[in-house]
């Protein structure tokens, strides 16, 4: 089986909050890429739901609030979230975090 992902993924373990329609629930990240993130949480939001991910990224003081859309979900496993809009500082932080694995892929 081939992995057709557009972006390299990095194991990333961090607590997060998922906010859907004003309701917040905790989650734990499993991995991250420039395009999105996999989060273990329960209950899992359904495919296509737009939400806000509150997360701390290395190198950024304070918490980031990133709009995302659910690209897949699996009860008991978690959700695959695609980042919708990233601020320049968040793009910088992700680039810094992922630089090592992207160099290894080239």
How far is the C-alpha of 23 from the C-alpha of 17, rounded, in Å? 10
The pLDDT of residue 101 is 55
Tokens of 44: 């899992």
Domain range for 72: 13-105
Give the pLDDT score at 3: 47
Q: Can you give the pTM of this predicted structure?
A: 0.86
In a domain, residue 5? The reply is no
60 belongs to a structural domain? yes
> For the chain, how many structural domains are there in total?
1
Note whether 6 and 80 are within 8 A (CB).
Answer: no
In a domain, 7, yes or no: no
At 57-106, the pLDDT tens digits run 989 999 999 999 999 998 889 999 999 999 999 999 999 999 865 444 44
For residue 80, tell me if it sits in a domain. yes
Report how far apart, in Å, the C-alpha atoms of 102 and of each of 26, 27, 97, 98, 99 are. 29, 26, 10, 6, 5
pLDDT digits (tens, 9 = 90+) for 13-39: 999 999 999 999 999 999 999 999 999
């Amino acid at each position: 089986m081939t992995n057709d992902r557009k972006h390299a993924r990095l194991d990333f373990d961090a607590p997060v909050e998922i906010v859907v329609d004003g309701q917040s629930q905790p989650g734990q990240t499993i991995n991250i890429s420039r395009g999105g993130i996999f989060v273990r949480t329960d209950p899992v939001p359904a495919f296509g739901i737009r939400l806000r991910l509150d997360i701390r990224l290395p190198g950024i003081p304070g918490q980031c609030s990133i709009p995302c859309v659910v690209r897949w979900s699996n009860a008991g496993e978690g959700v695959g979230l695609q980042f919708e809009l990233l601020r320049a500082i968040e793009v910088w932080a992700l680039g810094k975090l992922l630089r090592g694995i992207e160099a290894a892929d080239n």
